[in-house]
Each structure stands twice: as C-alpha cells, then as structure tokens.
Amino acid sequence: MSAIRNRRAFGPANLHPHGFTLLELLVVMAIIGLLAGYVGPRFFSQIGKSETKVAQAQIDAFGKALDQYRLDVGRYPSTDQGLQALMAAPVGEARWQGPYLKKAVPADPWGKPYQYRQPGEHGEYDLLSLGADGQPGGSGPAADVGNW
C-alpha cells in the first residue's frame, strides 16, 4: 500500500510542478478589481461619517467639562476666555478648580478650531465645528456639528 502511494507521489505527473496560467492570473485580478470597486466606495463613504461622530463626541465631552466649570465658578466661560478656560484658570477667577480636561483642547477632526460663543444662539453657550468645509452651514461632511 505504501509503495502505491510513493509511486503516485513521484509519478510522471508530479515531476514537473505546475504554475498559474496567464488566464488564471487574469481571472484572479478581475475578481480583486471587482471587490475593490464594490468595497472601496462603501469604505470611504464611512470616513466622513466617522469624522462627524468624532466631532460630536468631542463636543459632548467639552460640554461636560463646561458644565463642571459652571458648577465650580457659577457661570460658563466668556467668549473671550473660550475653551482655554477649561485648561488654565482665567485671570481673577478664584473659584476655578480645574483643569477640567485631561489634555489640551484638540482641533476638530478636520484640523480647524472649535467655535465657542457665550451666550449662544441655541442655548447658554454654542460649541460647534464648522465641518469639512470650515464654512457655516453645509450638508453631509460639510455640515456644522454642534451642541444643539
């Protein structure tokens, strides 16, 4: 029995190893191309959505820090003090108990600074990112993301 197996393993069909034919390689490349054409656009469309979600999560975290600041100081930082009041005590602010953030205030996911206004148009303060285009308004990835 083992002699039969050995003959098959070393028979004439197995003396010359086979490679891939050009046709087989072209079929595989076509399949990869089709998959890339189908998956690629779906993947890249999710990137804009994730940046918007990151901006919203950061705005929510800043909102919590601003609320803690208000509890300690008795009011929200002024527009001039901005979000930097969460990291360093404003001049003459004796009741400041910060820092209220673990790290410095980052830029939004598009590399632009967050906008902070107090009093705000939508509430006691407005905290927003102007989106991918850096301009007010817009839709899709260019839409403003805020605390309203």
Helix (H) or strand (E) holding 126, with range, is: strand 126-129
User: Is the backbone of residue 53 left (phi > 0), alpha (psi -120 to 50) or beta?
Assistant: alpha
Is residue 12 scored above 70 in pLDDT?
A: no
Tokens at 148, concatenated: 């309203």
Q: What's the pLDDT score for residue 30?
A: 93
Q: Model-level pTM greater than 0.85? A: no
Of the candidate ranges 39-43, 71-75, 120-124, the one whose mean pLDDT is the lowest? 39-43
The Cα 87–Cα 96 span in angstroms is 10
Is residue 105 scored above 70 in pLDDT?
A: yes
Summarize the confidence of residues 3-19 as an average pLDDT.
57
Q: What's the pLDDT score for residue 78?
A: 93
Domains located in the chain, CATH noted: 22-146 (3.30.700.10)
Confidence of residue 56 (pLDDT cuts 50, 70, 90): very high
- Which residue has better confidence, 47 or 51? 51
Are residues 144 and 57 in contact, defined by beta-carbon separation less than 8 angstroms?
no
Confidence of residue 148 (pLDDT cuts 50, 70, 90): confident
The Cα 116–Cα 127 span in angstroms is 5
Cα torsion 76, 79, 84, 86 to 10°: value is 10
The Cα 82–Cα 66 span in angstroms is 10
